[in-house]
Amino acid sequence: MSIDFEFRKLVMDHHIGSDLIKYCYQCSRCADNCPVTRVSFDFYGTSGYNPRSNILNALLGYKDAIFDADPLVIWGCTVCDTCDEVCPQNIELTEIFTFLKNESVKKGNAPEYLIEQAKAICDSAKAIPSQPAIERRREQLGLPSIVAPNVEEVQTLFKNIGSDKYLD
Amino acid sequence: MFEGCTIGNRIPFIEAASRKVFEKVGIETSQAPFTCCPDPTGLKSFDNDVWLTMGALNLCIAEAEGKDIISLCNGCTNTLRGVRHQLAHDSLMKEKVNKELSKVGKEYKGTIDVKHFVDVLHDHLDKVKSAISKPLSGLKVAVHPGCHYMRPAEWMESDDPMRPKVLKELVAASGATIAEYEEEVLCCGSAVTNAYEEHGMANLKIKMDSIKRSGADVVVVNCPACFQQFDTKQRDLGKKYETEYDIPVLYITELYALAMGYSPDDIGLKFHRTRLKSILERLGL
């Protein structure tokens, strides 16, 4: 396994406002409280989702162990933020996992639903575009119409930031 | 008011109940051309920079009117508060975001606040209590506040992140009884279900089994993603594990609307997937 120092630096930079990730002592409270670890991890640790290993591999720069493995290693996270709360070192694990997911998107390994949602947002400025049937239901319920967002502004942001190229 | 994509464009009956309750309690809201918040479990995982910039764009829209945002959804509140928090503590990122926003003629200043509607209702608890005309005595309620209502505590600044109590206090004000259950802070699993359905369903089973054991008549939520997870996935779950769950789901504002004298038809309860008939009959509604 090789160490990627550039990747390591990016991980350290991503941790908002501190270098706390350095002080992870692998106590495993994150994995012990992770709902996905609970339902996916087998006793001998050969498969399943494990936030503790992700932090270790990210911190050490073991890029291959994260990105060349089963996508579950990254995409098993359900973003419940429980690990952030139980970590005795106040490491913002979910922020690190967000960075890993963003990198995985750039490698073309994102799950389909995620790309579908990003496309919908780029096309209509909403994750769930408005539909005639729901508009009628809103009217029946006595609700005002939804004020249309500025789609062009959203498309400009996507394009300038450069993430429109990961939509296909 | 930030209704969000899911409530606004998929399950608007929740907005109908919420607007009725806000009116009774005296919470005035207005509409604005908000975009998707965007989703803290979706677009943030796609590209954190786009997430931050679009979130800041929505904050700019409210800033232009000089109004705070009240959100009907855990995810939207989490995004908008998270963006606000991050830009307040990371001046380099704020500069970067503002550079992008300037290309669409906007600038984020950080002058407004974002509140979850549960916290706003809790701040108006006296008015809520006096608006309740039909107390729901005898109804046993399991509460599920949902992850993003209170976590990460650092930027949500609302309830205790692992021992939440605000939603329970709101439910108690309706006259209903709280059914305590072991897995209260367990995630509904909505995000992981999208990518790995088998793990999502296994997680939902743990959650629903625990709720069932508590003897609850209904589960009360304050997030549209959790609502959909419990309301639409419950039948599949029952089939998969050959268990009859049959526990209806109510948004806290739907529970309040009933307790404030509205009929099930006024708030479109017929659009729920799980059947509410037996509890409505018991309550004489």
Mean pLDDT within B260-277: 96
Cα distance between residue A162 and residue B190, in whole Å: 28
pLDDT at A46: 73
Which pLDDT does position B132 carry in this prediction?
98
- Residue B83 in domain: yes
Is residue B189 in a domain?
Answer: yes
CB atoms within 10 A of CB B236: 12
For the stretch A92-149, pLDDT in tens is: 999 999 999 999 999 999 999 999 999 999 999 999 999 999 999 999 999 999 999 9
Q: Is B207 domain-assigned?
A: yes
- Alpha-carbon distance values, B187 to A68, A102, B56, B226 (Å): 28, 23, 27, 8
The verdict on residue B128 lying in a domain is no
From chain A, the residues in CB contact with B15 under 8 A are 138, 141, 143
- Average pLDDT value for chain B: 97
- Position A47 scores a pLDDT of 84
Report how far apart, in Å, the C-alpha atoms of A53 and of each of A73, A93, B11, B107, B199 are.
9, 11, 39, 40, 19
Q: Are residues B151 and B105 in the same domain?
A: no
pLDDT tens column, B163-185: 999 999 999 999 999 999 999 99
Geometric angle at alpha carbon B214, from A35 and B147, rounded to 5°: 35
Judge whether B177 and B136 are in contact, CB under 8 Å.
no
Structural domain contains residue B127: no
CB A126 to CB B43 under 8 A? no
Residues B20 and B147 in one domain: no
pLDDT at A45: 66
The H or E element spanning position B195 is: helix B190-195
What is the predicted pLDDT for the residue at B87? 96
- Determine the structural domain holding residue B36 and report its residue range: 4-117
Q: How confident is the model at residue A1 (pLDDT cuts 50, 70, 90)?
A: confident
Q: Answer yes or no: are the C-beta atoms of A57 and A99 closer than 8 Å.
A: no
The answer to whether the Cβ–Cβ distance between A117 and B46 falls below 8 Å is yes
CA distance A61 to chain B (A): 20
Say yes or no: B150 and B249 in one domain: yes
- The DSSP bridge partners found for residue B249 are B219
Main-chain phi, psi angles of A122, to 5 degrees: -70, -35
Chain segment A6-63, per-residue pLDDT in tens: 999 888 887 655 677 888 999 999 999 999 999 998 877 678 999 999 999 999 999 9
Q: A40 — contact with chain B (CB < 8 Å)?
A: yes
Facing residue for A35 by CB, picked from B16, B19, B189:
B189
**Which amino acid is present at B127?**
K
B23 close to B51: Cβ distance less than 8 angstroms: no
Do B54 and B81 lie in one domain? The reply is yes
B30/B169 same-domain check? no
Instruction: At A50, give phi and psi (nearest 5°).
Output: -145, 100
Q: Do B271 and A137 touch (CB under 8 A)?
A: yes
What pLDDT, on the 0 to 100 scale, is given for residue A22? 82
Tens-place pLDDT, residues B78-105: 999 999 999 999 999 999 999 999 999 9
**Residue in B closest to A113 by C-alpha:** B194
Residue B177 and residue B95 share a domain: no
A85 touches chain B (CB under 8 A): yes
How would you classify residue A48: left for phi > 0, otherwise alpha for psi between -120 and 50, otherwise beta?
A: left
Band (pLDDT 50/70/90 cuts) for residue B217 is very high
- Shared domain for B143 and B234, answered yes or no, is yes
Cα–Cα distances (Å) from B164 to A35, A69, B68, B149, B157, in that order, read 18, 37, 24, 10, 12
Asked if residue B154 belongs to a domain, the reply is: yes
Q: Are residues B104 and B224 in the same domain?
A: no
Distances (CA, A) of B226 to A157, A164, B138: 30, 29, 25
Whether residue B144 sits in one domain with residue B40: no
Contact residues, chain B, for A137 at CB < 8 Å: 12-13, 268, 271
Q: What is the pLDDT of residue B250?
A: 98
Is residue B170 within 8 Å of B252, Cβ to Cβ?
Answer: yes
Ranking A6-10, B8-12, B49-53, B188-192 by mean pLDDT, the lowest is A6-10
Is B123 part of any domain?
A: no
Per-residue b or e along B37-72, where b marks 16 or more CB atoms closer than 10 Å to that residue's CB = bbbbbbbbbbbbbbbbbbbbbbbbbbbeeebebbbb
Q: How many helices (H) and strands (E) does chain B have?
A: 16, 6
Phi, psi angle pair for B219, to nearest 5°: -110, 130
Residue B110 and residue B20 share a domain = yes
Do B36 and B93 share a domain, yes or no?
yes
Please tell me the total count of domains within chain B: 2
**Hey, which residues does A78 pair with through a beta bridge?**
none
The pLDDT assigned to A21 comes to 82
Within-domain flag for B122: no
Answer yes or no: do B53 and B110 share one domain.
yes
Q: Kindly tell me if the per-residue pLDDT of B62 is higher than 80.
A: yes
CATH number of the domain enclosing B21: 1.20.1050.140
Q: Where are the domains of chain A?
A: 5-106, 112-166
CATH number at residue B201: 3.40.50.11810
CATH classification (class only), A5-106: mainly alpha
